[in-house]
Structure 1
Amino acid sequence: MATQQHIQLASSLPKRLLDFFRKYPPPALLQGTPATTSTATGNTTVTSTTPTDPNASAPDSQALSSSEISYRNPFQPHKHYVTGRWHSPVFGLRRQADLVKLAQQHGVVSLLPYTIKLPGERAKRREELGLRVKGTGIGQRVKGKLWERTLKGRLEERKKAMLAMPAMIQEWKQKGHGRGWKKWPK
């Protein structure tokens, strides 16, 4: 019964999603997967109970034992276990977003590997990390542009000048309408 539902679901998926799941099957759906463990780098190690075949080519004994298959998240960068160099993700952020949108339309988002483009992930990260803008903490100020930083002082100077304006006009009238007028009174 369940296999018929899976076949029916697979027939309704678009080719792009089918190709993705064919190349990167969800770890939960891999054959013989009694246990999965997830790491911080996005790699999932799937242990299987396959018999050891002496003719089969085994992976490097230092990296993986013969009973483990390494599943790499195609949405996250990973470190090569021999060279130690970082490899870019297989899918960039734009392609990740497109796949997530397509999976949302067909209701298979839960089968996708972890990505920051999953629904609700942005809100969860905002909740965990908070608003990360320099100067928004308690007792801090945002740097801002020069005119923004000096605006308060300039407005105060204007206010003082406007309050002193009637006295300045009176003085200007007494000194002969500009004759003998000095700009800065001493």
Structure 2
Amino acid sequence: MANSVINPQHIRLARQLPRPLLNFFQRHPPGTYNTSASPSAAETASRLPASTPIPSLQTLQATPHLSTTTNPPATPAQMAAISALYATSNPFLPWQNPLTSAWRAPRYSARHQQELYTLAEKEGVLSLLPESERHPEIKGRKREEQGLRVKGTGVGQKVKGREWERQLRGKQEMRRKAMEGMAELVREWKERGHGRGWKKWPK
């Protein structure tokens, strides 16, 4: 590791932080982890040795419980690569093993994450923490999206009201067109024998 010059002022500021934040930054220094919930294929290929066989999805589905009797244990190089991937993963998000596809829970619970975010926001070091659903900025963006929802318009909503509300605009357009061509409709109505076999709208 290359030697870096440490600013004494930064050390004094760090010592003034609350103990939970100090413990977190000691275990996970800023910039040593990524924000991806699972390692990407490119990242896995760059970290794992070239001879590392990664089982396909079909193989994992066919053998959900891989055993050492049919599959040899991982080599030391593979174990070191997996450990390096796990060490640089986001501690606030779940992590997936690229070899076994097994998931690991976040290293910090939701309650613990919220406590760290609250302390970091108070101390002005919120940007140094990793992101998760509990991050104040992410929660704020979700609140803004929910605040833009307007009932009955479908903006920001999956359900756009009751059935008659969803069909009202289309029916009003059909009614407008029928009123504009009412003279032609009346003539056709009379020609058919006062609506005999009439299938158009309005009935």
Q: Which has the higher contact order (CA 8 A, sep 6+)?
A: 2
Structure 2 gap ranges (5+): 47-75, 164-203
TM-score (norm. length: structure 1) = 0.50
Partner residue, 1:112: 129
| Paired positions, count | 123
Greater percentage in strand: 1
1:74 to 87, 91, 106: 91
Per-residue deviation at 1:120?
2.2
Q: 3-state DSSP class of the match of 2:134?
A: coil
The RMSD of aligned alpha carbons is 4.1
**Please, what TM-score do these two structures have when normalized by structure 2?**
0.46
Q: 1:131 to 1:112 in 2, by over 3 A?
A: same
State the match for 2:37 in structure 1.
41
Q: Give how far 1:69 is off.
A: 8.7
2:160 paired with 1:140? yes
What SS does the aligned partner of 2:24 have? Answer: helix
Instruction: Give the greater-gyration-radius structure (CA).
Output: 1
Which residues in structure 2 correspond to 1:1-186 (within 5 Å)? 3-27=7-31, 38=34, 40-41=36-37, 59-60=77-78, 63=81, 71-127=88-144, 137=154, 140-141=160-161
Contact 1:43 1:70 in 2 (8 A): no
Question: Could you tell me the percent identity over the aligned residues?
Answer: 36
Structure 1 unaligned runs (5+)? 31-35, 48-57, 144-186
Q: Secondary structure at the match of 1:137?
A: coil
Report if aligned partners of 1:74, 1:91 keep a CA contact under 8 Å in 2: yes
Greater helix share, structure number = 2
**Change in CA separation of 1:79 and 1:42 when aligned onto 2, cut-off 3 Å:** closer
